[in-house]
A and B are shown apart, each in its own frame.
Chain A
Amino acid sequence: MTPFPSLRRVFRIAGVRRDVKADLDEELDFHFQCTIEDLVAQGMTPSAAREEAHRRFGDLRRYRRELESIVRKRVTMDRLAELFLILRQNVGYTLRGIQRSPGFTLAVALTLALGIGANATMFGVVDRLLLSPPAHVKDADQVRRLYARMHSRRTGRSYHQTYLSYPDYVDWTNCRSFESVAAYATDEVTVGRGLDAVRVTGSLATGSFFRLLGVQPALGRFFDESDDRSAPDVAVLSYGFWQRRFGGDPSVLGRTLQAGPGRLTIIGVAPRGFTGIDLTQVDLWAPLHAYSLIRESDAWEHMRTMYWIQIVARLRPDAGVEAAETEATHLHRAGRSEQIQQGHYDPDVTVVAAPIVEGRGPNAPAESVVSVLLAGVSLVVLLIACANVANLLLARGLRRRREIAIRLALGISRRRLVGQLMSESVLLAVLGGTAALLVAAWGTELMRSVFLADIAWTESALNPRVLAFTAVLATVTGLASGLVPALQSSRPDLVNDLKDSAREGTVRRSRTRAALLVTQGTLSVVLLIGAGLFVRSLQRVESIDLGLDPEGVLLAELELEPGERTSEQVSTIYDRALERLRAVPAVEHASASMGIPFWSGSIEELFVPGLDSIPAPPPGPWIDGVTPGYFATLRMSIRRGHDFNDGHVAGATRVAIVNESMARGIWGNKDPLGECLMIGSADAPCTQVVGIVADTRRQRVVESQKWIYFVPVAQYPDESPAALFIRGRIDASQLAPVVQRELMAGNPDVRYAVVRPLQDLIDPQLRAYTLGATMFTVFGLLALIVAAVGLYSVLAFNVAQRRHEIGVRSALGASTNAIVGQILKEAVGLTLIGLTIGLLIALAAGGSVGHLLYEVSPRDPLVLGTVTLTLLLVAAAAGAIPAARAARVDPNDALRVE
């Protein structure tokens, strides 16, 4: 095709990319010189010849410009064509390679799929929890969450108060650094009545809320300050709730909705995906002053001791965060001055204006913290996968040394060769990345449904951000794992490689590969130790003796029809409910109480004759009013004395049951039975201790032991039960609907009964531990498998490469044991190095996860020991097959290969 093939080649290999301008200049110079010389030869004077040459040429500057642009276009096209050609060649080369060794391709793609998939999963989670601002919020950087940073005299530590009072919000509406301020409170609420009712999440918000966030309604309008002030009986539905409950019917506007005790008129629908500034699902919003309708009182407007709202502010564009914090602090201290003077509030309180994303603020939820940790862990898994792939590629590069040597000898440039080898690993990474999407889809599903079920996941698992992340990660991974093998393969010892058969020369390259194996081992050890620590924590947390048995217990709360009732009337409603429940055959025990374990409780002033003060652990001895049978229902064992009975009514002898810690704390070794408690004031009548009950956890699974005492709710002045506990003879989930129907049917006082397993109150407290333990274990095992496969493949490869050597040794009389021993020694040796480094890292880094663990030392010997043993076993297992193969090498076969 080309008339000058040799010239072209010389030109290209010389690689002279001459400047376009210089080229043109030289060409035109040549033209003018020739013309002038010819003309002079015809007898012209040099100057006349020059003039004539220019005349013949025409406008030099114009032509020069035209030529330049033509040449530039051509050069660009040429380069593109060349690139395309190389790309096509590389892809073709890679595809042929894949066809030749599908097993290798599968191993690499799978390894990368797991590594990249794990990262894509964690990116999706971290993106939602920490990176992306809440949906539909305009200029989210300017919106800040306000916290009061205080010092606890009790614990000696400072903490950030998330929930504040309504007057605090009012104080900050005068803050000049804020464009606007809003407050909200989220709680569960019953919508509808009777058996058709549903429990939804409702958020009460100030009229400024939607405007502050800059969100636009999908339908109708949002409420504003005037609604909040004068007509707070309106509601805005979330998009999801509108779809679920009303099928997306636009005529829903103007309809009314029974929400709790109030009737609200629907005025608007929020856009899809809007959940306020928190990430949890919200079903409807109502003005904050609707709270007065629910409470039938507006006392909350002035109560500074009622900590129930969260406050957000939008900074003025010109206001700095620090200046805003200073001003807000000033206003807060001024607003709280009375309490500060009385010593009830920290005088040094400061206001913190934290980012809108809760996970980035001072009170980051445990899920956020654990997720970030897990994202780091998944990155480590990817590193291991990369090391593994690099190792596989290196091994293959060795196997292909002759091919590569021949190609180099035939004149392929190193750059081209590296390009080919790199494009191979990038293509493998693309395969891996595609498969990773499957892993991510599955992993995300798992994370969302099992561990992060409360978060409103508005986007699909494979949203554009996750896809982009995966694409970038796959490319980087391909380049990272391919670079070293490609560079090494392209720098072979030409003469020796061509001379040798593909058999020898494993030793030369093994240092890089050994380093990669050691790295894998190290990282696996770190992850496995992490997994072990979290699993032990979870075990410890789960094995905490709660003192009561929540399993199989249902908690029922009654929502009563609005109206004035005395506590006796309410008590009667509960008594009747208990009667009906106890008549159900599937119900073993039913009882009622004022407080709910792990949820709510009360503290009363308490006096004991002979004691100046009660040495109870703060915040003081908890009191609960319960019905007879309460302890049996929750399986709290009565150590001494007896349970309450139906005779312990108002007016009868006042009785109490105290828990063991309290009994020990107050009376020591003395028998508490028959002792006196004065509840509420020092001159209250004596309440006689009639029993001692086992210690239980009160609010949290992990807490210091509290002092708790119980009195019959009937003897508790002006109080009535607030919750029912039912222990069934059948599964709780089957019993729940029965209980609910029993509580609501034919009971005109009860608008709705919320029935749920008591365990539901406890599980969220364990979630961070469960998440950490499960995910660390998954990732740790993943890492271990990948590392084991890596070790196995390298050893197997070594044995295959050294068949000849092994054959010679066995022919010379080496025992099978010696041969096997050598292979195993190699496996275990590398593992031991990795193990040692891994242990050192784990010991050094242990402190940084200490706060996420429960009663497990980061240097827990059991965990360290188990991991060490596991790793050595796995290394031996990975070495076993290659070793067995080495033992079977027949000297005759091996020597005959040549």
Chain B
Amino acid sequence: MGEGELKLLQGTLDLLVLKALVFGPRHGYGVARWIRDTSDAALQIEEGALYTSLHRLERRGWVESEWGVSENNRRAKYYALTADGRKQLAASTRTWTRYAEAVFKILGAAEAEATA
């Protein structure tokens, strides 16, 4: 894996994790399941990477964690967005959307030229 690839992947992964927490605090497993369910398992993400992402986000202060009790009555570590995390999510979403739009535009243009 090249370095550029990893960065893109990591940034995208962080974005997905932040998004997973926007509806309320979740534990790590919850985040993994939400991403899996929402994407219909289309994204091949190692769950270990999700955890490193969560901890990295926590270190940056975008996410905080507390031990709580899970739905099946077990001790679990819950993650929640901080105010900074929310801002970051909004900003990243904008950037990613613009980026995706730009990529799509180019891809679309190429198609048009080819058919012309």
A interface residues, Cβ below 8 angstroms from B:
1-4, 7-8, 11, 23, 26-28, 30-31, 33-35, 37-38, 56-60, 62-63, 66-67, 70-71, 73-74, 77
* A-B contacts at CB below 8 angstroms, number: 83
Tell me which of B56-64, B95-103, B104-112 binds A. B56-64
Q: Are B75 and A30 in contact (CB under 8 A)?
A: yes
A27 to B, closest residue via Cβ: B77
With most chain B CB atoms within 10 A of its CB, the pick from A33, A37, A70 is A70
Q: Are B55 and A74 in contact (CB under 8 A)?
A: yes
B interface residues, Cβ below 8 angstroms from A:
25, 27-29, 32-33, 46-49, 51-52, 55-56, 58-59, 64, 66-68, 70, 72, 74-77, 80-83
Q: Are B29 and A31 in contact (CB under 8 A)?
A: yes
A34 to B, closest residue via Cβ: B29
Q: Are A31 and B66 in contact (CB under 8 A)?
A: no
Q: Are A58 and B75 in contact (CB under 8 A)?
A: no
Q: Are B82 and A2 in contact (CB under 8 A)?
A: yes
Q: Are B48 and A70 in contact (CB under 8 A)?
A: no
Can you list the 5 inter-chain pairs with the closest CB atoms, starting with the nearest?
A: A58-B46, A63-B48, A58-B48, A74-B59, A34-B29
Q: Are A56 and B47 in contact (CB under 8 A)?
A: yes
A38 to B, closest residue via Cβ: B33
Q: Are A62 and B59 in contact (CB under 8 A)?
A: no
Which residues of the partner chain A approach B46 to less than 8 Å between Cβ atoms? 56-59, 63
Q: Are B52 and A63 in contact (CB under 8 A)?
A: yes
Q: How far is the CA of A892 from the CA of B20 in the complex (A)?
A: 72
With most chain A CB atoms within 10 A of its CB, the pick from B33, B52, B82 is B52
Q: Are A2 and B47 in contact (CB under 8 A)?
A: no
CB-CB under 8 A for A59 and B48, given A34-B29, A35-B29, A73-B59: yes
Q: How far is the CA of A59 from the CA of B25 in the complex (A)?
A: 26
Q: Could you write out 8 A-B pairs with CB less than 8 Å apart?
A: A1-B82, A8-B66, A34-B70, A57-B46, A58-B49, A59-B46, A63-B49, A74-B59
The smallest beta-carbon distance between B48 and chain A, in angstroms, is 3
The smallest beta-carbon distance between B6 and chain A, in angstroms, is 13
Q: Are B48 and A60 in contact (CB under 8 A)?
A: yes
Apart from the given pairs A34-B72, A56-B32, A59-B48, 4 other A-B contacts in the complex at a CB distance below 8 Å: A23-B77, A30-B28, A30-B76, A58-B49
Q: Which of B32, B48, B81 has a CB less than 8 Å from the CB of A62?
A: B48
Which residues of the partner chain B approach A63 to less than 8 Å between Cβ atoms? 46, 48-49, 51-52
The smallest beta-carbon distance between B99 and chain A, in angstroms, is 26
The smallest beta-carbon distance between B88 and chain A, in angstroms, is 15
Q: How far is the CA of A35 from the CA of B29 in the complex (A)?
A: 8
CB-CB under 8 A for A4 and B66, given A30-B77, A31-B47: yes
The smallest beta-carbon distance between B9 and chain A, in angstroms, is 13
Q: Are B52 and A67 in contact (CB under 8 A)?
A: yes
Q: Which of A30, A56, A62 has a CB less than 8 Å from the CB of B27?
A: A30
Which residues of the partner chain A approach B56 to less than 8 Å between Cβ atoms? 70
CB-CB under 8 A for A66 and B67, given A30-B27, A56-B46, A56-B47: no
Q: Are B51 and A67 in contact (CB under 8 A)?
A: yes
Q: How far is the CA of A30 from the CA of B25 in the complex (A)?
A: 16
Which residues of the partner chain B approach A59 to less than 8 Å between Cβ atoms? 46, 48
Which residues of the partner chain B approach A35 to less than 8 Å between Cβ atoms? 29, 32, 47
The smallest beta-carbon distance between A52 and chain B, in angstroms, is 11
Q: How far is the CA of A60 from the CA of B47 in the complex (A)?
A: 10
Which residues of the partner chain B approach A67 to less than 8 Å between Cβ atoms? 51-52, 55
The smallest beta-carbon distance between B24 and chain A, in angstroms, is 9
B77 to A, closest residue via Cβ: A27
CB-CB under 8 A for A74 and B58, given A3-B25, A8-B66: yes
The smallest beta-carbon distance between B66 and chain A, in angstroms, is 5
**Chain A binding surface SS class:** helix
With most chain B CB atoms within 10 A of its CB, the pick from A26, A31, A77 is A31
Q: How far is the CA of A898 from the CA of B48 in the complex (A)?
A: 68
The smallest beta-carbon distance between A55 and chain B, in angstroms, is 9
A65 to B, closest residue via Cβ: B52
Q: Which of A1, A8, A26, A73 has a CB less than 8 Å from the CB of B75?
A: A26
Q: Are B52 and A66 in contact (CB under 8 A)?
A: yes
Q: How far is the CA of A220 from the CA of B66 in the complex (A)?
A: 74
Which residues of the partner chain A approach B29 to less than 8 Å between Cβ atoms? 30-31, 34-35
Which residues of the partner chain A approach B74 to less than 8 Å between Cβ atoms? 30, 33
Q: Which of A11, A37, A70 has a CB less than 8 Å from the CB of B52?
A: A70
The smallest beta-carbon distance between B47 and chain A, in angstroms, is 4
Which residues of the partner chain B approach A37 to less than 8 Å between Cβ atoms? 72
B24 to A, closest residue via Cβ: A3
Which residues of the partner chain A approach B76 to less than 8 Å between Cβ atoms? 27, 30
Q: Are A28 and B51 in contact (CB under 8 A)?
A: yes
Q: How far is the CA of A66 from the CA of B47 in the complex (A)?
A: 13
The smallest beta-carbon distance between B80 and chain A, in angstroms, is 5
A1 to B, closest residue via Cβ: B83
The smallest beta-carbon distance between A347 and chain B, in angstroms, is 82
B58 to A, closest residue via Cβ: A74
The smallest beta-carbon distance between B15 and chain A, in angstroms, is 18
The smallest beta-carbon distance between A694 and chain B, in angstroms, is 93
Q: How far is the CA of A56 from the CA of B28 in the complex (A)?
A: 13
Which residues of the partner chain A approach B27 to less than 8 Å between Cβ atoms? 27, 30-31
Which residues of the partner chain A approach B49 to less than 8 Å between Cβ atoms? 58, 63
Q: How far is the CA of A2 from the CA of B79 in the complex (A)?
A: 11
The smallest beta-carbon distance between B54 and chain A, in angstroms, is 9
Which residues of the partner chain A approach B66 to less than 8 Å between Cβ atoms? 4, 7-8, 11
Q: How far is the CA of A7 from the CA of B77 in the complex (A)?
A: 12
With most chain A CB atoms within 10 A of its CB, the pick from B28, B48, B55, B68 is B48
With most chain A CB atoms within 10 A of its CB, the pick from B27, B59, B72 is B59
Q: How far is the CA of A59 from the CA of B48 in the complex (A)?
A: 7
Q: Are B55 and A71 in contact (CB under 8 A)?
A: yes
Q: Are B67 and A70 in contact (CB under 8 A)?
A: no
Which residues of the partner chain B approach A33 to less than 8 Å between Cβ atoms? 74
A53 to B, closest residue via Cβ: B47
Q: How far is the CA of A590 from the CA of B11 in the complex (A)?
A: 103
The smallest beta-carbon distance between A617 and chain B, in angstroms, is 89
Q: How far is the CA of A7 from the CA of B80 in the complex (A)?
A: 13
Q: How far is the CA of A62 from the CA of B47 in the complex (A)?
A: 12
Q: Are A77 and B48 in contact (CB under 8 A)?
A: no
A6 to B, closest residue via Cβ: B66
The smallest beta-carbon distance between A71 and chain B, in angstroms, is 6
The smallest beta-carbon distance between B46 and chain A, in angstroms, is 3
The smallest beta-carbon distance between B71 and chain A, in angstroms, is 10
B49 to A, closest residue via Cβ: A58
A33 to B, closest residue via Cβ: B74
Which residues of the partner chain A approach B28 to less than 8 Å between Cβ atoms? 27, 30-31
Which residues of the partner chain B approach A62 to less than 8 Å between Cβ atoms? 48
Q: Which of B51, B80, B83 has a CB less than 8 Å from the CB of A4?
A: B80
With most chain B CB atoms within 10 A of its CB, the pick from A34, A60, A74 is A34
Which residues of the partner chain B approach A73 to less than 8 Å between Cβ atoms? 59
Q: Are B47 and A3 in contact (CB under 8 A)?
A: no
The smallest beta-carbon distance between B18 and chain A, in angstroms, is 14
Which residues of the partner chain B approach A74 to less than 8 Å between Cβ atoms? 55, 58-59
Q: How far is the CA of A158 from the CA of B17 in the complex (A)?
A: 89
The smallest beta-carbon distance between B82 and chain A, in angstroms, is 7
Q: How far is the CA of A1 from the CA of B49 in the complex (A)?
A: 27
Which residues of the partner chain A approach B75 to less than 8 Å between Cβ atoms? 26, 30
Q: How far is the CA of A732 from the CA of B58 in the complex (A)?
A: 85
With most chain A CB atoms within 10 A of its CB, the pick from B33, B58, B72, B77 is B77
Q: How far is the CA of A621 from the CA of B68 in the complex (A)?
A: 103
Q: How far is the CA of A33 from the CA of B51 in the complex (A)?
A: 15
Which residues of the partner chain A approach B70 to less than 8 Å between Cβ atoms? 30, 34
The smallest beta-carbon distance between A81 and chain B, in angstroms, is 10
Q: How far is the CA of A56 from the CA of B45 in the complex (A)?
A: 8
CB-CB under 8 A for A57 and B48, given A70-B56, A74-B55, A74-B59: yes
Q: Are A3 and B80 in contact (CB under 8 A)?
A: yes
Which residues of the partner chain A approach B55 to less than 8 Å between Cβ atoms? 67, 70-71, 74
Q: How far is the CA of A11 from the CA of B64 in the complex (A)?
A: 13
Q: How far is the CA of A71 from the CA of B59 in the complex (A)?
A: 8
Q: Which of A7, A28, A58 has a CB less than 8 Å from the CB of B68?
A: A7
The smallest beta-carbon distance between A393 and chain B, in angstroms, is 39
